[in-house]
Homo-oligomer: A and B are copies of this chain.
Amino acid sequence: MVRDQVRFGLIGTGRIGQVHAASIVADPDATLSWVADPYLAGAESVAARYGGTATGSPERLLDSAEVDAVLVASPTPTHVTLIEACIDAGLPVLCEKPIDLDIVRVDALRPKVAASSVPVALGFNQRFDPAFAETRTRVAVGEIGELEHLSITSRDPGPPPADYIATSGGIFRDMTIHDFDMARFFLGEIVEVSATGARLFDEGAREHGDYDTVAIVLRAASGAIATITNSRHSAIGYDQRLEALGAEGLLLVANAPSSLVSVSTSAAVEAKRPYLDFFLERYAEAYVRELAEFIKLARGEESTSPTFEDGRAALIIADAAQRSAEEGRVIRLTE
């Protein structure tokens, strides 16, 4: 009883689109059917490597009748329109985060998503990281008792180009949004946001009024507290840690070692190599699992894929963080 493979249409062939293309062909339940990118050479290159028909037009992909599900990895400003088009085409869609940088556009799309039976999933891939997912499960089964404090550290190896900063929506909407979603993943509804931002080293951040270092405190409806710290650089490599403190214990996700080898000399002992460089390496397995979960969703099976509402909720927290940092006060999300 072999099941048909899900035929994917991939829209967007930049770095993250290529990751998804590789995941699609590696998943025995999926095949890459069409690849669209207005930058046609990009689409052709991905199609040549991973299979599928290349096109410069997302519309052609959606109209091809050879696609069962769509993966949107195009620039953020196109997400709302493409999600809408997928819904119209009746095609389940996995869209990279964020839905949009503007909550007004997100809210405008919201009723259509809610009214439709077409599944819309958001690409919060970190939920599928084996270590984070394991930790959340262990919290959920009560291994450490009632959750009291969640601490997330996320630091990128180095700041993006100033150009990127300019259109990123700011560090809260661009980078911390993963951590806001992770906080929701562990704690559910967030009711208060208090954010502090600093400009310490990145010229691009300074130029565009963004921060390069932020610390955020969230309060959940449960009463529990989360702290998040982000930096746009990290000398030690990609720094991705999480601690969940419960009444009866502490679960800790360490950084991913890049080797099992340590060295001891007269200068220092037990020294290891710097951590895995960046998200493509650190979250390689997460992308694979994210796709597998979306395939279940696309097939109408039970699935834990993050939803449009998850994407919207994280953006609302990011907006609140931005206001909090600017106004120097706690933002209550129910106000």
A196 on interface, CB distance cutoff 8 Å: yes
Give residues of chain A (217-249) contacting chain B, Cβ–Cβ below 8 Å.
217, 219, 223-225, 227, 229, 231, 233, 235-237, 239, 245-249
The yes or no answer to A198 lying at the interface (CB within 8 A) is yes
Give Cα A168–Cα B233 distance, bound, in whole angstroms: 40
Q: Interface size class for chain A?
A: 35 or more
A145 within 8 A of B: yes
Q: Within 8 Å of chain B (Cβ to Cβ): is A290?
A: no
Question: Is A56 at the interface (CB under 8 A from chain B)?
Answer: no
Whether A223 and B235, one on each chain, are in contact in the complex, defined by CB atoms closer than 8 angstroms, is no
> Given the known A-B contacts A215-B225, A249-B236, are A268 and B272 also in contact in the complex, defined by CB atoms under 8 Å?
yes
| Complex Cα spacing A213 to B220, Å | 13
A18 CB to nearest B CB, Å: 16
Q: In the complex, are the beta carbons of A131 and B235 less than 8 A apart?
A: no
User: B272 near A248 (CB under 8 angstroms)?
Assistant: no
Q: Assess whether A269 is interfacial by the CB under 8 Å rule.
A: yes
Q: Are A272 and B270 in contact (CB under 8 A)?
A: yes
Which chain B positions have C-beta within 8 A of A224? 198, 200
Q: Check if A313 is an interface residue, CB within 8 A of chain B.
A: no
Q: Does A188 contact B (CB under 8 A)?
A: no
Contact A261 B134, CB 8 Å, known A248-B235, A268-B274, A329-B328? yes
Q: Decide if B217 touches A215 in the complex (CB within 8 Å).
A: yes
Does chain B have a CB within 8 A of A66?
no
B-binding segment of A68-76, A98-106, A118-126, A251-259 = A251-259
List B contacts of A229 (CB < 8 A). 149, 151, 225, 227
Whether A108 is near chain B, meaning CB under 8 Å from some CB there, is: no
Q: Which of B131, B143, B145, B148 contacts A213 (CB 8 A)?
A: B148
B266, A262: Cβ atoms closer than 8 Å: no
11 pairs of residues in contact across A and B, judged by CB atoms under 8 Å: A192-B328, A196-B330, A198-B219, A213-B225, A227-B227, A227-B229, A235-B250, A250-B265, A252-B264, A254-B262, A265-B274
Q: How far is the CB of A129 from chain B (nearest CB, A)?
A: 9
Give min CB distance, A57 to chain B, whole Å.
30
**Chain B's nearest CB lies how many Å from the CB of A247?**
6
- Complex CA gap A241/B194 in Å reads 23
Q: Is A87 an interface residue (CB 8 A)?
A: no
**A130 and B151 alpha carbons, distance in the complex (Å):** 26
| In contact, A196 and B196 (Cβ under 8 angstroms) | no
**Shortest CB distance A204–B (Å):** 16
A265: chain B residues at CB < 8 Å are: 144, 235-236, 248-250, 274
- The residue of chain B having its C-beta at the shortest distance from the C-beta of A218 within the complex is B196
Q: Chain B CB within 10 Å — which of A201, A236, A248, A256 has the most?
A: A236
> Does any Cβ of B come within 8 Å of A176's Cβ?
no
Give the distance in Å from the alpha carbon of A262 to the alpha carbon of B255 in the complex: 11
Q: Whole-angstrom distance between the alpha carbons of A239 and B229 in the complex?
A: 19
The distance from the CB of A137 to the nearest CB of chain B, in whole angstroms, is: 10
A65 an interface residue at 8 Å Cβ cutoff? no
The verdict on A260 contacting chain B, using a C-beta distance below 8 Å, is yes
Query: What 1/0 flags go to A304-323 for Cβ under 8 Å of B?
Result: 00000000000000000000
Contact B272 A249 (CB under 8 A): no
